[in-house]
Amino acid sequence: MYDVTIIGAGVIGASIARELSKYHGKVLLIEKEKDVSLGATKANSGIVHGAYATEHGTLKGELAAKGNPMFQQLNEELNFGYRKTGALVVGFSEEDEKSIQELYNNGKKYGESEENLQIIGQDKIKELEPHSNTEIKTALYSKNVGVASPYEMTIALVENAMTNGVEV
């Protein structure tokens, strides 16, 4: 008899299993495939988005804003290869500049600092990306964007959950 049964060993099921493994309940993680992370998780791009990217006030945006800062600590605990790379959203026209300003404003609503979210010009763009298109006029620079292998992250989550007593 189990206290909790989790169906699906993608990144969400694996994350839930790991979190529940910190307590004293009996947890079962069920996966229909031969390994974890073989569905949508494996096909995920692995981008850890900054808080600017999703409309303010949405659940997705709130979760992105809360989840992004957790990746560094989670990687320190599980060593799945997260890297904080930063990202540029580039603009070539006045219309693009307006969109970039909207993204910036959105990020500020989520509490992004001036240090981590900036609108930059051509000189700074060239400094960050020397081979970028010379027609880029402006960019939103987010230092909080990162990348991780969703497959490796899920394996690390499940292995840790199993170490803590979760059955798969």
Active site residues: 49
Angle 59-67/70-78 helices, nearest 10 degrees?
50
Tokens 């997705």 sit on residue: 60
The arrangement of strands across the sheet holding 146-147 comes to 47-48, 146-147, 83-84
Tokens 């990687």 sit on residue: 75
Local structure of residue 50 (DSSP, 8 states)? -
Residue 137 one-letter amino acid:
K
For the chain, state the CA radius of gyration: 19
Query: Quick count: other Cβ atoms within 10 Å of Cβ 12?
Result: 14
Local structure of residue 35 (DSSP, 8 states)? S
121 close to 71: Cβ distance less than 8 angstroms: no
